[in-house]
Structure 1
Amino acid sequence: MNRDFVYIDECVSGIRWDAKYATWDNFIGCPVDGYDVNRIVGTRQLAEGLRRAQRVAGELGFGLLLWDGYRPQIAVDCFLRWASSPEDGLTKDKHYPNIEKAEIVEQGYVARRSGHSRGGTIDLTLFSLETGMLVDMGGRFDYMDVSSHHGAAGITAAESRNRDDLRLIMERSGFLPYELEWWHYTLLDEPYPDTYFDFRIA
């Protein structure tokens, strides 16, 4: 692993994670190339930002659960091959019921060169410190639909407040939101803004 990258769970006390792309529970329906273990990796600066976010979240009664951090370019290439392959329907209802697979890239849900590959982007949600349960955000991770956008109509007031809480936590901690995905944030001052890495998560 690049020396400027770390396993986030070794750096942020109390963090939870479920690296979806190392599992079968993701939008392509199988483990993704480059994810050899279920761990979240990122730059040291990303880990520091998440430490700040964890502190802010704790003040509001929340913890952080991470779904993805650093993403090898080989994984991005795997997504692109999948997006150009014939539709098999295995994950469509769960992840992209209202668009065609071929539209996923052009609509901005999968990038040909992902900020995740630079090591400064994180996909995450909140859980309640009191109950341990995930907070209801009005939609699942990697749900490719307008309902996942910030400010989306059609979700409840409580779900909207939860999304606002996550955004507040992340912006206070030095992150910028991605407007199409309520779970996706990038460091304002990421250390490798022009470098796309391709080492495996192992």
Structure 2
Amino acid sequence: MREGFVFVDELVPGIRWDSKYATWDNFTGKPVDGYLVNRIVGTRELCAALAQARDKAAALGFGILLWDGYRPQRAVDAFLRWAEEPLDAQDEERKRIHYPAITRQEMFEKGYVATRSGHSRGSTVDLTLFSLATRALLDMGGGHDLMDEVSHHSAAGVSEAAARNRAHLCSVMESCGFSRYDNEWWHYSLVEEPYPDTYFDFPVG
């Protein structure tokens, strides 16, 4: 592990995680280069802010589930290579779930996947809320990495419950020093990130 980075669960107890890119359950359909274990890595500053967010969410009856944190540059490069590959029969289901109305190339053009990701600086997270009472994920009007306009913060057509849950997440995160990404309700970056100009490439593991 690079100095200044840690496994988030070691500094933020009580937080849940499911590192999607370390699994087969992501838009590429396979584990992504650089993700060696199903854990979330981030800077110490990120963890301090997430601990505050955990406590604020808990006061509302919610917990936090992380899907991604630090992302090696080699993973971003793997996304670029994947986007040039021909679709196979198994891709149709992943396309339906993750990018139903756009092509792979349009993921980059429309800002859903970046060639230089803020995740690679170590202080950006993909996350959602769950109910502390039931452990069920809150309805957000669409899942993680649904690359579609319905995932935008300003999207029309989501239910009142989903809009309210997105607002809860946004309120918690922004009150703890994060800024939202307008195209993805799950994506937040630490405003005062410690490495704003550095894109790291050490593996998660």
TM-score (norm 2): 0.97
Deviations 1:36-74 (A, max 9, x none): 000000000000010010011011110000000000000
Corresponding residue for 1:178?
181
In the alignment, structure 1 residue 200 sits paired with structure 2 residue 190: no
Q: Distance in 1 between matches of 2:160 and 2:154?
A: 11
| Pairing partner for 1:157 from 160, 164, 167 | 160
The Cα of 1:151 is off from its aligned counterpart by 1.6
In structure 1, the gaps of 5 or more residues are: none
Q: Which amino acid aligns with 2:53?
A: A
State the SS of the aligned residue for 1:185: strand
Instruction: Compare 167-176 and 84-93 and name the one that shifted more.
Output: 84-93
The Cα of 1:13 is off from its aligned counterpart by 1.3
TM-score (norm 1): 0.99
Are 1:83 and 1:105, in contact at CA under 8 Å, matched by a contact in 2? Answer: no
Q: Distance in 1 between matches of 2:81 and 2:108?
A: 11
In the alignment, structure 1 residue 191 sits paired with structure 2 residue 191: no
| Pairing partner for 1:138 from 141, 151, 176 | 141
CA RMSD in angstroms comes to: 0.7
In the alignment, structure 1 residue 169 sits paired with structure 2 residue 169: no
In the alignment, structure 1 residue 42 sits paired with structure 2 residue 42: yes
Identity of aligned residues (%): 63
In the alignment, structure 1 residue 61 sits paired with structure 2 residue 64: no
Are 1:147 and 1:154, in contact at CA under 8 Å, matched by a contact in 2? Answer: yes
In structure 2, the gaps of 5 or more residues are: none
Q: Distance in 1 between matches of 2:192 and 2:84?
A: 33
Q: Distance in 1 between matches of 2:190 and 2:103?
A: 31
Corresponding residue for 1:147?
150
Q: After the TM superposition, which segments of 4 or more aligned residues of structure 1 sit over 6 Å from their partners?
A: none
Corresponding residue for 1:73?
73
The Cα of 1:87 is off from its aligned counterpart by 2.4
Q: Distance in 1 between matches of 2:197 and 2:63?
A: 31
Are 1:21 and 1:35, in contact at CA under 8 Å, matched by a contact in 2? Answer: yes
Q: Which amino acid aligns with 1:24?
A: W
Instruction: Compare 81-90 and 31-40 and name the one that shifted more.
Output: 81-90
The Cα of 1:100 is off from its aligned counterpart by 1.1
Are 1:87 and 1:101, in contact at CA under 8 Å, matched by a contact in 2? Answer: no
Q: Distance in 2 between matches of 1:165 and 1:10?
A: 25
Aligned ranges for residues 27-38 of structure 1 at < 5 Å?
27-38=27-38
Corresponding residue for 2:22?
22
The Cα of 1:86 is off from its aligned counterpart by 1.7
Q: Distance in 2 between matches of 1:72 and 1:170?
A: 23
